[in-house]
Structure 1
Amino acid sequence: MARRRGVACVVSGFAAAFAASALWLEPGPALAFGEDVALQPEPPAAEAPPARKARRRAKPAAREKRVEAPSPDRPLFAVISIGNQSISIYNHNGLVERSMVSTGMPGHPTPEGMFTIIGRERMHHSNLYSNAPMPFMQRITWSGVAMHLGVVPGHPASHGCIRLPGGFASKLWGLTRIGERVVISPHEVAPTEISHPSLPSPKMQIEAAAEPATDGATVSDASEPKLLDPRKFADRLIVKAAADTAAAAQAAKDADAAIAGARQNVARAAADLRAAEAAQASAKSKAEAAAKSFETARTAAERPAVASATPETAPVSDGKAEAAKEAAAVAKTSAEAALAEATTQLDAAKAASAARAAEFSDAVRRSKEATLAVAAASKAEKDARLRTTPISVLVSKKDRKVYVRQGLTPLFEAPATIRDPEMALGSHLFIATATENGGKDLKWSVVSLPARYAEARSERRKKGLVEERSISRGPASSPAEALDRIEIAQDVRDRIAERLWLGGSLIVSDQPPSVETGAVGTDLTVKLR
């Protein structure tokens, strides 16, 4: 991610900022695309009545119920004109709000291009300019450019930021959201509606694909499956992923409990095995001793008969040796039986120990699987929540690539083919602003930025001062012509269609992604100057 630098603008104080707020305009009803609105200060208020009468008249008004204006339809997008020092907020109905602004002064120019609101702070303080307060800050780059409340003198006066009058800054804060687009143009441009077969269409998904699995659940072949748009499908995926996460977490908890129990069983089995081994060793020692005693007694009982030459010379046995032999034989038999029993118990202990070890290994395996399932379910839930945010697509003629992001997070890149690559393509921002055909298709608006190739060539000569940009010959293509010249693989279009819904945007440009496009936390942006 690009280093997050503080927003590089100075606010000259709250008193001056709110004094300048009188310059912002309160627009009337929404206007159609392209309709020009003069930026004139509000007319002076009528002379106030005497204080005593004003207080008497204020009482009935204080009892009136306050009615708030309805919120405009989303998505919204902003177009800032450096030449006119103005900002216009649009949606699919047209102009929503309009105000004067103050952009970067000479030496600290405000960048021109296509950006996105990537951060918001109600009260931000600059870490570059003496901790200057910057209320209602809405960041569009991590290098230090944002919209915020500030002094609006009627001409460029900032260090690169877009200063907003006090009343409008607070109003805009309540309207906009992270992920909504901001276009900064050298002069006034307005969006127009566009319909083109090359514009991506959302893919409707089968509802059952996002439902949690249930035992014995069946879907009738006769019933037509219900289709969901990508946003509703994402909401269902979130529910499914949350259920899967909970189930996986419970399985992991059960597996951990099984590991604890199996570990105790292994310890007990090991103790039993050691005891059985000791008992068997003792029984074996006793059996060997009994066998040795028996051999000694047998030898003692048989020795007189062997030593006697003839029966007549053999001494008369008193029976003690024979009795000792018989006793030794009994002891030997008993010891052998004890050894056999101890050996049987040892074999059983070994089998039990092996079984307990296998149970422990199985519990560990199930715990690992449950841990992986938790991670997979958590990742699926994160991706499902990502699907609820606007998708951004950039087709760059210079890179001959298509870049795709969602929720300020990279998704993938793919090759793109541009017909007549030596000819200028221009820079066009297409925004999905509304639904049509019963919510199955999207309406699109487009804002095109003017080409400034002469200035770009001049800047490129200043090596190291500006990022390299693509320079093409000839006039820029119109939005429709630009779309006609683009070829993207069908599988790439399908991946985009699965996530495309209101607020989604497509940039078609000669330029590559700006250096402001970092790894994470930034959107696809194009800088023209």
Structure 2
Amino acid sequence: MVSRFVFCLAFLPAAALAPFAQAGDGILQIVISKTDQSLAVYRDGAEIASSKVSTGKAGHATPTGIFSILEKRKYHESNLYSNAPMPFMQRLTWSGIALHEGHVPAYPASHGCIRLPGPFARSLYGMTQRGVHVIVSEAPVVPVRIVHESLFQPRGDDADRLLLTDTPLRPARSLAGDRPVEVAMNEASALPADGASAKPQADMPPLRILVTRRGDRERILDMQTLLNRLGFDAGTPDGIAGRATVGAITAFRIAHDLPESKAVLDPAFLAALYEAAGTAEPPAGHLLVRRDFKPLFEAPIGIRDPERELGTHFLVATDVDPALGHTEWTAMSLENRLADATAKRLGITERLGRHEAGSASDALSRLDIPPDVRERIERLLGAGSSITVTDNGISTETGQGTDFITLTRAAPPEKKS
């Protein structure tokens, strides 16, 4: 039924390709509470505007999470809902969620989008540019100043220093049951295969940093690499357990007298594989970086006490001073209903409470970021750069032409009539 929610975008107008807001304009964030049916606009952490909104009604619930504005159109029509007008549309996902002008009663009434009163929709449209972050939560959240030794601080440029080699971005599994609501857009996009150049430049768009847990794809890539190294032909490492990989697993099991298992990522098999290769298992965490909606680089990182849930936290650099080596950061912690199956797959046994968001400072204290990775980020750090810390992995909404999109709760499947 996904096709009911996906329809084709013929083109992107020139207006949709407007540049990101510059540091001198201040760093905007838009925060929406579904409980209060309200929206607040923050500049550099201070509230500057607010409005009532109307989010998705029952059967068309608006997903919660961390988004950014991907496209802007002063006038847009939904060809899913009888060409319904969507003036001053600001798209949040390529699967169909957007901010736009519309009827705003005192309750959720949309088909998944976030409706704004006419005058406010026009005003907000004039304030924003592509890349502005939009946070959608159940309960109200507010950005607060945060100081922590693990937060990145800027470093001066050193053109003679060799930076970390770029590697392809590897997609990870998202929340179980994730499903987009289609009301404003188009075609689903896959993650790009190749990374991009990471040479620091003036006036470049800010970094988007995702800190999460290693997913199944990363584990399979490691497994394929080690099997090949040990002489068991798993084919070209690609993170997909195809015929060659399954054959190599079977051959390794026979050679090492291991019991059969239908699970590709069987813990006993992996432990034996790492031992045979003389290699320690990689750390539990993964850090990925995007800039200008494109993958930049990724690297493994450590997570202390990996059995404890990290929660979902969003941090933004509102002021970056390379001369002083100082950055001001704000943080928001979001309630995240991590699926039980996801928690089990990730080895999480200590869960946050149902309505507990956790502490951003606690999550940051548990991260071990290698010095070379930290240095590269700090040499590229600019105002508006953001960090998302989450257990969820890469959402299915993250793809070509997006920042990292984190779903803390996906919209439920629409009920059949």
Is the shorter-chain TM-score for this pair beyond 0.5, marking a shared fold?
Answer: yes
Name the structure 2 match of 1:527.
407
Q: Say whether residues 1:448 and 2:333 are aligned partners.
A: yes
Aligned equivalent of 2:369:
488
Cα deviation for residue 142 of structure 1 reads 0.4
Q: Is the 8 A contact 1:136 1:173 kept in 2?
A: yes
Aligned to 1:97: 49
Which secondary structure state, in structure 2, belongs to the residue aligned with residue 414 of structure 1? strand
CA displacement at 1:471 relative to structure 2: 5.9
CA distances 1:312-355 after superposition (whole Å, capped 9, x unpaired):
xxxxxxxxxxxxxxxxxxxxxxxxxxxxxxxxxxxxxxxxxxxx
Correspondence for 1:405 among 275, 284, 290: 290
What is the one-letter code of the residue matched to 2:316? I
Q: What residue number does 1:257 align with?
A: none
Matched, 1:111 2:57: no
For residue 6 of structure 1, report the CA deviation from its aligned partner: 5.4
Q: Secondary structure at the match of 2:329?
A: strand
Q: Per the alignment, do residues 471 and 134 of structure 1 end up closer, same or farther by CA in structure 2, a change over 3 Å counting?
A: farther
Residue 525 of structure 1: how far off its partner (Å) = 1.4
Larger proportion of helix: 1
Out of 433, 455, 461, the residue aligned to residue 318 of structure 2 is 433
C-alpha contact (below 8 Å) 1:7/1:127 kept by paired residues:
no
Per the alignment, do residues 384 and 198 of structure 1 end up closer, same or farther by CA in structure 2, a change over 3 Å counting? closer
Closer, same or farther in 2 for the Cα pair 1:6/1:442, shift >3 Å?
A: farther
Q: Deviations over 1:222-249 (max 9, x none)?
A: xxxxxxxxxxxxxxxxxxxxxxxxxxxx
Amino acid aligned to 2:396: V
Whether the 8 Å CA contact 1:391–1:500 is kept in 2: the answer is yes
- Specify the code of the residue in structure 1 equivalent to 2:106: G
- 1:56 corresponds to: none
SS at match of 1:396: strand
**Does residue 1:473 correspond to 2:289, yes or no?**
no
In structure 1, give the amino acid aligned to 2:337.
Answer: R
| SS at 1:105 equivalent | coil
Structure with the greater alpha carbon radius of gyration: 1
Residue type of the partner of 1:473?
E
Q: What's the offset of the Cα at 1:504? A: 0.2
**Alpha-carbon separation, structure 2, partners of 1:414 and 1:523:** 18
Match for residue 108 of structure 2? 156
Q: Which amino acid aligns with 2:392?
A: Q
Q: Deviations over 1:166-190 (max 9, x none)?
A: 0110111111111111111011111
- Give me the whole-angstrom Cα distance separating, in 2, the residues matched to 1:525 and 1:469: 20
Unaligned 5+ runs, structure 1: 9-70, 211-378, 462-467
Encode CA deviations 1:3-33: one digit per residue, 9 max, x unaligned.
Answer: 994599xxxxxxxxxxxxxxxxxxxxxxxxx
* Equivalent residue letter for 1:528: T
Corresponding residue for residue 395 of structure 1:
211
Q: 1:149 to 1:441 in 2, by over 3 A?
A: same
The percent identity for this pair of structures is 43
Identify the structure with bigger relative contact order (alpha carbons < 8 Å, sequence gap 6+).
2
The alignment's TM-score, normalised by the length of structure 1, stands at 0.50
Q: Secondary structure at the match of 1:497?
A: helix
Indicate conservation of the 8 Å contact 1:7/1:144, yes or no.
no
Q: Which has the higher strand share?
A: 2
Structure 2 gap ranges (5+): 10-22, 161-195, 216-284, 410-417
Conservation of the 8 A alpha-carbon contact between 2:306 and 2:348: no
Shift of 1:477: 3.9
Counterpart contact for 1:135–1:148, Cα < 8 Å: yes
Provide the C-alpha distance between the structure 1 equivalents of 2:347 and 2:104, rounded to a whole number of angstroms. 34
Residue 452 of structure 1, CA deviation: 2.5
- 1:398 offset after TM fit, Å? 5.1
What are the Cα deviations for residues 397-454 of structure 1, in whole angstroms up to 9, with x where unaligned?
353211110000001111121111111111000000124586642100001102334x
Query: Quick one: distance in 1 between partners of 2:398 and 2:74?
Result: 24
* CA distance in structure 2 between the aligned counterparts of 1:404 and 1:487, rounded to whole angstroms: 16
Aligned to 2:303: 418
The answer to whether structure 1 residue 510 and structure 2 residue 381 are counterparts is no
Q: Any conservation in 1 of the 2:307–2:348 contact (CA below 8 Å)?
A: no
8 A contact 2:45–2:330 mirrored in 1: no
**Could you tell me which residue of structure 1 aligns to residue 186 of structure 2?**
none
Q: Please say if 1:193 is aligned against 2:145.
A: yes
> CA 1:152–1:409 in 2, change beyond 3 Å: closer, same or farther?
same
Q: CA RMSD in A?
A: 3.0
